[in-house]
Chains A and B, each alone.
Chain A
Amino acid sequence: MWVYEKKLLYPVEVTTCNPMLAKYLMEQYGGADGELAAALRYMNQRYTVPDKVIGVLTDISTEEFSHLEMLATMIYKLTKDATPEQLEKAGLGAHFVNHGHSLFYENAGGVPFTATYIQSKGDPIADLYEDIAAEEKARATYQWLIDISDDPGVSDALRFLRERENIHSLRFRESVEILKEERDRKKIF
């Protein structure tokens, strides 16, 4: 089970209404390499991986949900006061007529989220390599978002998230080594 914590993993402070930046952030909200994809991917893989890496998948998946909440907070704050005209100017006219001011799991191009973004192979090495790639792609996306962001508060939160992807990638790479060691030990005895 999970228990909700009434706080963000890291504080998000947004400077001004900025629907254009919100649109770009949707890439990490409902995009292929975004937080929803990451959280769902690991949470689903964990049931069939060796015991030694269940903790890593569970804990990182849980943290990804807290990243998803940070992204949602940024998008919400950047768009809540925007007029339909401002949204349209930012390329969110189509989003507005379908969703109003609400959020939706879609990427920066407006393509809705799909489970085809993620995989579960039933092979722990294959799954973990996909997870490492996912973290590196998310890190790269955060870098492009930082490069394009014109809101210092958002940039600060994005830098935190970029760093977390680095740590997650590292923990997954260590998990691969743990499994390889275990496999080699089995061969010797």
Chain B
Amino acid sequence: MSPQEEEWQLLKKVQQADFVVVELTLYIDTHPNDMEAIQQWREAIKEAAKVRRQYESRFGPLSLLSVPSAQAIEVGWHWNSTPWPWQR
């Protein structure tokens, strides 16, 4: 796998993990007492954070919130670098 392809595959994993969080958050908005969903949400957050760390430690920050993280510092300032999402 080329580094470019590896980056794309890992980004897809981040998108997947983040989407689970988006979907569960929306569900809990209207089902605040569903304890099982809240437990799933907790697990999803942990998983999303893990995958994001994997990505950012190699390819740079995905959001400005990531900038203060150790991973972002290690890879340097990559924020204003291509590709932007619509350039892929």
Contact = CB atoms under 8 A, between A and B. Distances in A.
**Is chain B a partner of chain A in the same complex?**
yes
Interface of A: 3-11, 55-56, 59-60, 63, 69, 72-73, 76-77, 167-168, 171, 174-175, 178
B5 interface: no
Interface of B: 11-12, 14-15, 18-19, 22-23, 25-27, 29-31, 61-65, 79, 84-86, 88
- Describe A's contact surface by its main secondary structure: helix
Contacts, number: 59
B72 to A, nearest CB: 12
Given A7-B15, A73-B86, 14 more contacts: A5-B62, A7-B11, A7-B14, A7-B18, A7-B85, A10-B19, A11-B12, A56-B30, A59-B25, A59-B26, A59-B29, A63-B22, A167-B26, A175-B30
B30 A9 contact: no
25 contacts: A3-B64, A3-B65, A5-B62, A5-B63, A6-B61, A6-B62, A6-B85, A7-B14, A7-B62, A8-B85, A9-B15, A9-B19, A9-B22, A10-B15, A11-B88, A55-B29, A56-B30, A59-B22, A60-B26, A69-B85, A168-B26, A171-B26, A171-B29, A174-B31, A178-B30
